[in-house]
């Protein structure tokens, strides 16, 4: 058992500061355990989101010593405890209180994206046939637990605050999961180019690095979507083809 110091961000929309708390760390504890211990013993009104405590729900996102993490999957033994551990709320979203931010923008963005639209069923009983190999890549995207850490580190959102013009990595992954779904027949490429702002992403891969589900966000979702957008709107050969072959 060791005594460790945690610097927790305390504050609301208007003002805030770090406050130091000391607490005992025992074998196997994760950062969220330490925060809960502090909450129960020293800071009853501390605001922190959590649910599953097993890396499956994506609620307890925060910045631990400056890096975006799920607190429930960050073991105290993996961070140096000989100096204070700082825990801050995500920066890309407005603060509500302490470690809790207002992530409602994400839910509004999702609502704007055209929903899943399946082709006609393959069989008379109303079911479809899909090969496992054809859904593997979409299943990768569907692992997303919506922790929004990728949104938090994306500089387009974090530094440039372009929430009105850019939907962020989470929703490119969502878009890719729909566009590459074997049954889906909707076309979202125009939206990706215009209202979703996919062009603003300059593939620095910050999002991929922080994904707790190890989704290869940039390479597997964003780049293929960018290629589809380019093929659809900027390829001169395609353009020629379309002049002679009007779309039905």
Partner 1 sequence: MLNYETHEYDVLVIGAGGAGLRAAIEAAATRLSVGLVCKSLLGKAHTVMAEGGIAAALANVDQRDDWKVHFTDTMRGGQYVNNWRMAELHAKEAPACVRELEAWGALFDRTQDGRILQRNFGGHKYPRLAHVGDRTGLEMIRTLQDHGIHQGIEVHMECTVVTLLQDDGRVVGAFGYDRERGRFRVFRAKAVILATGGVGRAYKITSNSWEYTGDGHSLAYHAGADLMDMEFVQFHPTGMVWPPSVRGILVTEGVRGEGGVLRNREGRRFMFDDIPELYRNQTSDNEEEGWRYTQGDPDARRPPELLTRDHVARCIVREIKEGRGSPHDGVFLDIAWIKERLPTAEDHIRRKLPSMYHQFKQLAGIDITKEAMEVGPTTHYVMGGIRVDADTQMSNVPGLFAAGECAAGLHGANRLGGNSLSDLLVFGKRAGRYAAEFAAEHGAGTIDEAQIESTATWALRYFESNGSAPTEAENPYRVQADLQDMMQDLVGIVRTESDLRKGVEALRDLAGRAQRVTVPGNREYNAGWHTALDLRHLLTVSEAIALAALERKESRGAHFREDYPDKDENEARENIIVRKGPDGEMQVTREALPATRSDLQTVIEEMQ
Pick between residue 142 and residue 239 the one whose CB is nearest to partner 1. 142
Residue 152 found at the interface with partner 1 (CB under 8 A): no
Q: Are strands 2-11 and 85-88 parallel, antiparallel or unpaired?
A: parallel
CB of 56 vs partner 1, minimal distance in Å: 6
Part in contact with partner 1 (CB under 8 A); list of ranges 55-63, 164-172, 190-198, 202-210 = 55-63
> Applying CB under 8 A, which of residues 29, 173, 198, 229 lies at the interface with partner 1?
29
Pick between residue 59 and residue 226 the one whose CB is nearest to partner 1. 59
Secondary structure, 3-state, the chain: CEEEEEEEEEEECCCEEEEEEEEEECCCCEHHHHHHHHHHHCCCCCCCCCCCCCCCCCCCEEEECCEEEEHHHCEHHHCCCCCCEEEECCCCCCEEECCEECCHHHHHHHHHCCCCCECCCCCCCCCCCCCHHHHHHHHHHCCCCCCCHHHHHCHHHHCCCCCCCCCCHHHHHHHHHHHCCCCECCCCHHHHHCCCCHHHCCCCCHHHHHCCCCCCHHHHHHHHHHHHHHHHHCCHHHHHHHHHCCCC
Residue 81 found at the interface with partner 1 (CB under 8 A): no
Part in contact with partner 1 (CB under 8 A); list of ranges 29-37, 79-87, 225-233, 236-244 = 29-37
> Applying CB under 8 A, which of residues 14, 15, 66, 111 lies at the interface with partner 1?
111
> Applying CB under 8 A, which of residues 18, 19, 79, 96 lies at the interface with partner 1?
96
Residue 241 found at the interface with partner 1 (CB under 8 A): no
The two tokens of residue 143 are 């692992």
Residue 97 found at the interface with partner 1 (CB under 8 A): yes
What are the phi and psi torsion angles at 19 (to 5°)? -125, 140
Contact yes or no for 31/52 (Cβ under 8 A): no
CB of 67 vs partner 1, minimal distance in Å: 15
> Applying CB under 8 A, which of residues 11, 57, 79, 220 lies at the interface with partner 1?
57
Q: Which residues contact 94 (CB under 8 A, 6 or more apart)?
A: 13, 101, 102
Pick between residue 56 and residue 205 the one whose CB is nearest to partner 1. 56
Pick between residue 109 and residue 207 the one whose CB is nearest to partner 1. 109
> Applying CB under 8 A, which of residues 67, 75, 204, 231 lies at the interface with partner 1?
75
CB of 54 vs partner 1, minimal distance in Å: 5
* Site of interaction with partner 1 (CB under 8 A): 12, 26-30, 33, 39-41, 44-59, 73, 75, 96-98, 100, 102-104, 107, 110-111, 115-116, 118, 121, 126-132, 135, 138-139, 142-143, 145-146, 178, 181, 183-184
């Amino acid at each position: 058992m060791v005594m460790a110091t945690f610097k927790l961000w305390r504050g609301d929309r208007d003002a805030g500061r770090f406050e130091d708390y000391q607490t005992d760390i025992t074998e196997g504890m994760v950062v969220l355990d330490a925060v809960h211990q502090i909450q129960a013993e020293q800071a009853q009104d501390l605001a922190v989101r959590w649910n599953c405590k097993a890396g499956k729900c994506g609620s307890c996102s925060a910045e631990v010593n400056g890096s975006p993490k799920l607190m429930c999957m960050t073991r105290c033994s993996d961070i140096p405890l000989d100096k204070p551990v700082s825990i801050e709320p995500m920066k890309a979203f407005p603060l509500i209180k302490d470690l809790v931010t207002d992530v409602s923008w994400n839910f509004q963005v999702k609502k704007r994206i055209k929903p899943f639209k399946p082709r006609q069923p393959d069989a008379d009983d109303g079911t479809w046939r899909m090969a496992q190999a054809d859904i593997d890549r979409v299943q990768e995207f569907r692992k997303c637990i919506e922790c929004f850490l990728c949104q938090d580190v994306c500089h387009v959102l974090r530094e440039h605050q372009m929430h009105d013009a850019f939907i962020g990595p989470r929703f490119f992954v969502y878009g890719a999961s729909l566009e590459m779904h074997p049954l889906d027949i909707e076309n979202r490429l125009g939206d990706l180019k215009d209202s979703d702002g996919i062009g603003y992403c300059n593939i620095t891969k910050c999002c991929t690095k922080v994904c707790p589900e190890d989704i290869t966000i940039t390479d597997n979702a964003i780049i293929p979507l960018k290629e589809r957008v380019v093929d659809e709107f900027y390829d001169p050969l395609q353009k020629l083809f379309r002049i002679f072959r009007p779309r039905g």
